Structure 1
Amino acid sequence: MSLTGALSNALSGLTANSRAAALVASNIANATTESYGRRSLDLSSRPAGTLGGVAIDGVRRNVDVAVLSDRRLSDAQSGFADNMQSFASGIETLLGASDEAGSLTSLYSAFENALLSAASDPSSDQRLASVALAAEDFTEKLNGISDEIQLQRTAADRAIAADVESLNTALGRVKALNTAISESLISDGDPSALMDERQRVIDEVSAILPLRSVARENGTVALYAASGTVLLDQTIHSDPVTIGFTPQNPVTAHMTLDNGLLSGLEIDGFAIDSSNDGPLGGGRLGAQLQIRDTVAVDMQAVLDGIARDLIERFAPGGPDTTLASGDPGLFTDGGAAFDALDETGLAGRISLNPLVSPDGNGVWRLRDGLGAATRGDVGDARLLQAYSGALDALQLPGSASLGSGTSSFSQHVADFHSAIAAARVRADGEQSFSSAQNTALKELELSKSVDTDAELQDLLRIEQHYAANARVISTVDELMQTLLNM
């Protein structure tokens, strides 16, 4: 080999080692950076007919595609579970523990006990006022739970709008990055940083819905929902799909997706199934749709059924014989008689009849009847006892949401409380599983990324190679100096 060939070989080695050392430094510096793909140098021998040496073919970005795909699907599952657990936990906290002061069940127990206490001494206005106060506290608790359910639906509606905006923005960013990466590869550039940014953008929205990334030519990727719905595929269409949604603020009990008062999702202007089982379900977006359109609606329906059952147990034809047909009973729909065709949202409107308000002077009507013109026998406890009997009576509920079996009113309250607690327990279990799975996949992804120990070992080998090439150049220089001095 000539001195020129030896020098050329050594210089190519120095260049490759210098580039490799820079990549090692970048890998170590970004060892804990999310969405960073470990870089390595692709080298090959120079082709025959040249002076020899090593050629740099490019920089390879190393990512385990299978693990990355599984982790993204897990992100969506975890996002769904987190949102469902947060909703269930919030409603359960609002109801309160059964033995906790101010909880739904304790307030009902207080109403029952106040009735029994008043029946034992019906002449006591103080005890009658306690009945009115306990009844008012219970109805206000129903109002508060109903209001919170609608606030949660409103929050879910806003979250859907925010997620749709984030998705549309992310799809546009991925398209732009696809173009930049393709141009970089065509011009023999290093698009690794652009690929990191593209992965980061996709990762940011992977909790919104389950995404699958499919490699295309020139380093581009196509994005699909787990359902197979195309989100971005530039081999089919140059632009990503546009997801449409119109938020509604506030959301009230009578607004549902089915009656058209709430917006569903659209893709490029076409309505799609907007449930969690639809094309864009399975992640955080699906959870918010599930809360707004299914879980919270069903919960409100049961609560309205409880309010209806309470009103109807004390309505005309019940224990208070002084009431005429069409009169509001002890419990009213916003002060008026209840209309069986207007049950939706009743729990947010139910109130104590103002004739027996604890702040007024009419609590004696709890003993003598709401329609009584004057005070009756102060020792007559029959109506108060009948009120207790009405609560304990096993009867068919007027609301379909409470089922078809006979139950006492206390059983309806207990069943509702138990159902909420059971839903929270299920949500806790699903969240715990999805969180553990997501953590395990993230750790696996990191384990296949940058290993700083391995990088430092590579750096030692690079130093040795660099020193060897530098020694060759030094030797060639000495030989050339000797020749020149001859």
Structure 2
Amino acid sequence: MSLTGALNNALSGLYANSRKSELVASNIANVGTPGFRRRSLDVSAALLGDQGGVKVNGVVRHTDSALLHDRRMSSAEFARNDAMTRFLAGFEDRLGTPDVAYSLSGRLATFENTLITAASRPDAQERLDGVVIAAKSLAQSLKATSDAIQADRTHADREIDIQVNTANDLLSQLQAINGQIAKSGGRARDNAALQDHRDLLVDQLSQMIPLRTVSRAHGAIAIYSTGGAVLLDGSAAEIGFEPTYSVAAGMEIDPGALSGLTINGKAIATGSETSPLRGGSLIAQFAIRDEMAPEAQTQLDALARDLIERFQNISEDTTRAPGDPGLFTDQGVVFDSLNEVGLSGRIAIHAAVDPDTGGESWRMRDGVNAVAQGEVGNASLLQAMTDALHLKQPVASGNFGAGSFSLAGLAASLTSQVGSDRLFADQRLSFASTQLNELIQRELADGVDTDAELQRLMVIEQAYAANARIIETVDELMDILMRL
């Protein structure tokens, strides 16, 4: 080998090792940087005639594609379960547990106790007032819970709008980065930093929509949802949604009261099991708005209907004409079975017994339409009301099965259903959380190891010193030749 060839070899070695040392320093400096992937230099032998040396082929960005995909899928599953569990936990908290006075069961028990107390002294005005207060509290509890369900639906609708806008923004950024990576790849420049940033954007998108990526020419990627929707392939898809700023009971997608989703102007399904975007936090919000909350509303309305009808069917109140409302009403009128949706948000006690609306509490004893007080010692109507609460009867609506329930039993069944659903959701969330944390730990284990990087740096220093020694030797030989 000529002196010139040896010098070229050494110089190329110095350059390659300087690049390696830069990458090692970058790896160590970014050990805690989100989205950063360990880099190394891809080198090979450079052979041109009798010249050798080191050829730098580019920077290798180390990533486990299968592990990355699994972690993204797990992240979407966690986000989905977290949203659903939060809704169920909130609904369960509003219903409360039977041992708490402010719970639905607790208010029902208080109402029953006041009826029993008033029946023992029907002449006592304060006891009749207590019955009215307890009845109002029970109706207001149902209404407050119904209002909270609609608030949850409204919040879900707003969250959908936020996530759709965020997804569109992320897809637009990913399209731009794809173009930058394709250009830099075409000029053989280092684009690892761009790929890191792109991965971070894909990670954010994958929490909302489970997805898979497909490699394209010049380092670009295409993105598809796991349900088959094309989100990015050359150009970014446009996801469409129109928010509804106040969601009321009975509002649904089919009549057009609520917005669904479109992709590039084409409507897609939004069901938790049917949507092409299913599996992440976006469709979880649709599930809350269009499935879980309406189901909760249906169950609560069934309970409100059962309460109203029990008191409409009390024959002991002879002051009521056929078709007149009982103690509990649908906004002051008799309940119509064709108008059940949202009933729990409209339930109210009869104005004639409520002193706050000009009524008199003695009508609890004498009948809701009584024009004058009757015998003050007559407790038959109060006793009939108590019996109505205990009467076991089939539930006319809702999803409570074919059994017969007292009102307390129906309330307990609803509370039990919601508690069971929340417990099951908690279990799924716990599993998703454990799985996600395990995958994150595996990713971290495959990331930058500072001890290994320092060992690589020592090897690089030795190689650098060896190449420097070759240059020094060539310089000495050249001096000798010049002196000849």
| TM-score over 0.5 (shorter chain) | yes
For 2:246 and 2:315, how far apart are their aligned partners in 1?
37
Check the 8 A contact 1:23/1:39 in 2, yes or no. yes
Give yes or no for the alignment of 1:229 onto 2:258. no
2:123 is paired with a residue of what secondary structure? coil
Check the 8 A contact 1:304/1:343 in 2, yes or no. yes
| Structure 2 equivalent of residue 212 of structure 1 | 212
Give yes or no for the alignment of 1:243 onto 2:249. no
- Larger mean CA deviation between 45-54 and 454-463 belongs to 45-54
1:299 deviation in Å? 0.5
| Structure 1 equivalent of residue 133 of structure 2 | 133
What residue identity is the alignment partner of 1:23? L
1:9 deviation in Å? 1.1
| Structure 1 equivalent of residue 320 of structure 2 | 323
For 2:270 and 2:203, how far apart are their aligned partners in 1?
23
1:50 deviation in Å? 5.0
| Structure 2 equivalent of residue 352 of structure 1 | 349
| Structure 2 equivalent of residue 440 of structure 1 | 438
1:175 deviation in Å? 1.3
For 1:122 and 1:319, how far apart are their aligned partners in 2?
15
Alignment of 1:49-448 (within 5 A): 49-234=49-234, 239-277=235-273, 278-315=275-312, 318-359=315-356, 362-448=360-446
1:207 is paired with a residue of what secondary structure? helix
- Larger mean CA deviation between 351-360 and 245-254 belongs to 351-360
For 1:321 and 1:441, how far apart are their aligned partners in 2?
70
Check the 8 A contact 2:351/2:359 in 1, yes or no. no
Check the 8 A contact 1:72/1:203 in 2, yes or no. yes
- Larger mean CA deviation between 51-60 and 251-260 belongs to 251-260
1:271 is paired with a residue of what secondary structure? strand
1:400 deviation in Å? 4.4
Check the 8 A contact 2:400/2:413 in 1, yes or no. no
CA distances 1:254-275 after superposition (whole Å, capped 9, x unpaired): 2012332111111221211111
What residue identity is the alignment partner of 1:11? L
Structure 2, gaps ≥5 residues long: none
For 2:74 and 2:374, how far apart are their aligned partners in 1?
69
Check the 8 A contact 2:277/2:283 in 1, yes or no. yes
1:266 is paired with a residue of what secondary structure? strand
Structure 1, gaps ≥5 residues long: none
RMSD across aligned C-alpha pairs, in angstroms? 1.4
Give yes or no for the alignment of 1:47 onto 2:47. yes
1:40 is paired with a residue of what secondary structure? strand
For 2:143 and 2:321, how far apart are their aligned partners in 1?
27
For 2:395 and 2:74, how far apart are their aligned partners in 1?
43
What residue identity is the alignment partner of 1:300? Q
For 2:51 and 2:303, how far apart are their aligned partners in 1?
90
For 2:50 and 2:286, how far apart are their aligned partners in 1?
65
Check the 8 A contact 1:314/1:320 in 2, yes or no. no
Check the 8 A contact 1:314/1:390 in 2, yes or no. yes
1:374 deviation in Å? 1.1
Check the 8 A contact 2:352/2:369 in 1, yes or no. no
1:314 is paired with a residue of what secondary structure? helix
Check the 8 A contact 1:265/1:274 in 2, yes or no. yes
1:142 is paired with a residue of what secondary structure? helix
1:361 deviation in Å? 5.8
Check the 8 A contact 2:314/2:388 in 1, yes or no. no
TM-score under structure 2 length normalisation: 0.97
| Structure 1 equivalent of residue 448 of structure 2 | 450
What residue identity is the alignment partner of 1:58? G
For 1:449 and 1:365, how far apart are their aligned partners in 2?
76
| Structure 2 equivalent of residue 31 of structure 1 | 31
Report the CA distance shift for 1:476/1:328 in structure 2 as closer, same or farther (over 3 A): same
1:480 deviation in Å? 2.2
Q: How many residues align?
A: 482
What residue identity is the alignment partner of 2:176? A
What residue identity is the alignment partner of 2:55? A
1:421 deviation in Å? 0.8
- Larger mean CA deviation between 475-484 and 348-357 belongs to 475-484
1:26 deviation in Å? 0.8
Check the 8 A contact 1:316/1:324 in 2, yes or no. no
1:206 is paired with a residue of what secondary structure? helix
CA distances 1:131-158 after superposition (whole Å, capped 9, x unpaired): 1111111111111110110000011111
| Seq. identity, % | 48
What residue identity is the alignment partner of 2:405? S
For 2:353 and 2:425, how far apart are their aligned partners in 1?
42
For 1:174 and 1:361, how far apart are their aligned partners in 2?
66
CA distances 1:308-364 after superposition (whole Å, capped 9, x unpaired): 111111116644221112222101111222222111111111011121115456111
What residue identity is the alignment partner of 2:257? L
